[in-house]
Amino acid sequence: MKIPDNFLYYLSLHEDCNERLLARAEHLRTEDVEVCISPEVVRIKKMVYAVMGETHRMKAFVRLQPLRTKVLYGFLRPRHRIGEHICDHFARRNAGIIVVLGNASESWISLCRDGRIWRDHGRGLYESLEKLKRTLHESLHEREKETDLPVQDVEVLWQIYYDSQYCPERKNLAAFHRQMPRKDQDSAGLRMVQNKKNATLEDFLSD
């Protein structure tokens, strides 16, 4: 990974970052962070990498489910303050759809429309989804779809496909664990879903 020019942004999202550290990092150029070996700069570099790493893995591991026709939602409990950033990413990918990510205690809501992003930051995921359900004036026809959404189907499709890709003669668990660290799977609620194929919304919300 290369240190990006906007490394201060990533640094500011780190769980241990504070105003003081940001102020001290402000005068650094990208190249300084890449090359300097002073303990403080090395620490800043590691913090930037930690946030970039988690950001990348959340874009990869968070799974989305549709709620009726206007909403996609998923579980997210990141270590760093990247909830909004990840939510925006999925909103851009699904323009016109409200993306809600979160966990039992907080949630992020983003909508991308006409190239712009609108956001809200709410309490628990469940609460935000309930509020959206009440607010969205969807037709009766659309509401009926709520009960027969293909959520499980997609998960089942995925599981069959995923299993088909495994080559037993190449088994390499060390590589698997290196690529899918447990902490990142936890942040994206991934293991939970794989263990419980029939995970429901409520499973995401019990801590």
Partner 1 sequence: MPMVTLEKIAHLAEECRFDSLGQAQSLAMVDVDAKKLRTLGEGTRHDVCASTFSPREEPLLGICHAFTQDGRCVSLFKTLYTNHCTHQCSYCTNAANCSSKAKAFSYTPEELAKITLSLYRSNYIEGLFLSSGAGRDEGSVMEKMVETVRLLRQKFAFSGYIHLKVLPGCSQAHIQEAVELADRVSINLEAASASHMSEICATKNYESDILQRQRYIRDMKMKPVAGKVVLPAGQTTQLVVGAAGESDEEIFKRILYEYNEIGVKRAYYSAFSPQGGTPFENRKAQPLWREHRLYQMDWLYRVYHFQTDEICHAFDENGLLCNADPKMAIAVEFMDKPLDPNTAAFRELLRVPGIGPRSAQKIVAFRKRQPIVAKADLAAMGIRIKRAAPFLKINGWRDTTLEMWQD
Taking CB under 8 A as the rule, does residue 116 contact partner 1?
yes
Taking CB under 8 A as the rule, does residue 125 contact partner 1?
no
Smallest gap, in angstroms, from Cβ of residue 38 to partner 1? 9
Taking CB under 8 A as the rule, does residue 23 contact partner 1?
no
Q: x/- site string to partner 1, residues 131 to 150, per CB under 8 A?
A: xx--xxx-------x--xxx
Q: Which of 27, 174, 183, 202 binds partner 1 (CB under 8 A)?
A: 174
Query: Is the Cβ of residue 11 or residue 64 nearer to partner 1 in the bound state?
Result: 64
- Identify residues 43-62 at the interface with partner 1 (CB under 8 A): 56, 59-62
State the number of binding residues for partner 1 (CB under 8 A): 72
Euclidean distance between CA atoms 36 and 186, whole angstroms = 33
Euclidean distance between CA atoms 170 and 183, whole angstroms = 25
Euclidean distance between CA atoms 39 and 21, whole angstroms = 13
Stretch that binds partner 1, among 5-13, 15-23, 106-114, 196-204 (CB under 8 A): 106-114
Query: Is the Cβ of residue 20 or residue 135 nearer to partner 1 in the bound state?
Result: 135
Euclidean distance between CA atoms 161 and 164, whole angstroms = 5
DSSP reduced 3-state for 3: coil
Query: Is the Cβ of residue 20 or residue 38 nearer to partner 1 in the bound state?
Result: 38
Amino acid present at 124 = G
Beta-carbon contacts of 152 under 8 Å, excluding residues fewer than 6 positions away, are: 197, 198
Query: 101, 83 in Cβ contact below 8 A?
Result: yes
Query: 44, 25 in Cβ contact below 8 A?
Result: yes
Taking CB under 8 A as the rule, does residue 21 contact partner 1?
no
Query: Is the Cβ of residue 82 or residue 111 nearer to partner 1 in the bound state?
Result: 111
